[in-house]
């Protein structure tokens, strides 16, 4: 019985989904980049971590509402602008320096949302077809505002 207790204690902080995400990231970008990002996350203060979470939650609520908007509509473009602002904020916090997301990088992010199965799943859980629609909206925004 005590052996079972030890096993459950050692697994207390394990999260299979997070481990899967980390493994996928390691395969895509390499151990060095993943280790660097994990170190950046570990160095965030609790206040910064909570601020990132609050902003992410607020964005996800807006994104869910935007699932019916046309990719080039004013409403969808406002959500894309909010996504860009959040992304810039989050990357700047993580890297502890001002980060500028340019058109090329934003288009790469859009392609990832449309073509990466895990990214697609994150968007599709909010609404079917949202990954492609939001990717198209990001591309439109990048061409209109960032190029």
Residue 22 has pLDDT above 90, yes or no: no
What tens digit of pLDDT does each residue of 83-92 get?
999 899 888 8
What tens digit of pLDDT does each residue of 85-126 get?
989 988 888 888 888 999 999 999 999 999 999 889 989 998
Same-domain pairing of 51 and 61? yes
Q: What are φ and ψ of residue 20, in 5° steps?
A: -65, -45
Element (DSSP H or E) covering residue 72: none
Same-domain pairing of 64 and 118? yes
Same-domain pairing of 69 and 95? yes
Residue 2 has pLDDT above 50, yes or no: no
Q: How many domains does the chain have?
A: 2
Same-domain pairing of 100 and 133? yes
CB atoms near residue 125 (< 10 Å): 12
Q: Can you give the residue range of the structural domain that contains 27? A: 1-43
Same-domain pairing of 22 and 88? no
Its pTM surpasses 0.85 = no
Same-domain pairing of 70 and 8? no
Residue 136 has pLDDT above 60, yes or no: yes
pLDDT of residue 85: 92
Same-domain pairing of 98 and 34? no
Same-domain pairing of 27 and 82? no
Closest Cα to residue 82, out of 119, 136, 137, 124? Answer: 137
Same-domain pairing of 37 and 61? no
Same-domain pairing of 74 and 136? yes
Helix, coil or strand: residue 98: coil
Q: Count how many residues are written for the chain.
A: 147
């Amino acid at each position: 019985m005590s052996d079972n207790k030890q096993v459950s204690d050692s697994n207390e902080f394990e999260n299979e989904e997070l481990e899967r995400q980390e493994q996928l990231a390691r395969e895509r970008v390499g151990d060095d980049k993943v280790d660097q990002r994990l170190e950046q996350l570990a160095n965030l203060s609790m206040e910064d971590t909570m601020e990132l979470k609050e902003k992410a939650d607020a964005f996800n609520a807006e994104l869910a509402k935007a699932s019916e908007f046309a990719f080039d509509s004013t409403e969808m473009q406002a959500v894309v602008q909010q996504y860009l602002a959040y992304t810039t904020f989050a990357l700047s916090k993580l890297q502890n320096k001002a980060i500028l997301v340019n058109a090329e990088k934003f288009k790469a992010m859009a392609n990832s949302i449309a073509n990466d199965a895990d990214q697609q799943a994150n968007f599709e859980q909010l609404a079917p077809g949202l990954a492609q629609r939001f990717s198209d909206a990001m591309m439109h925004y990048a061409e209109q505002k960032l190029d």
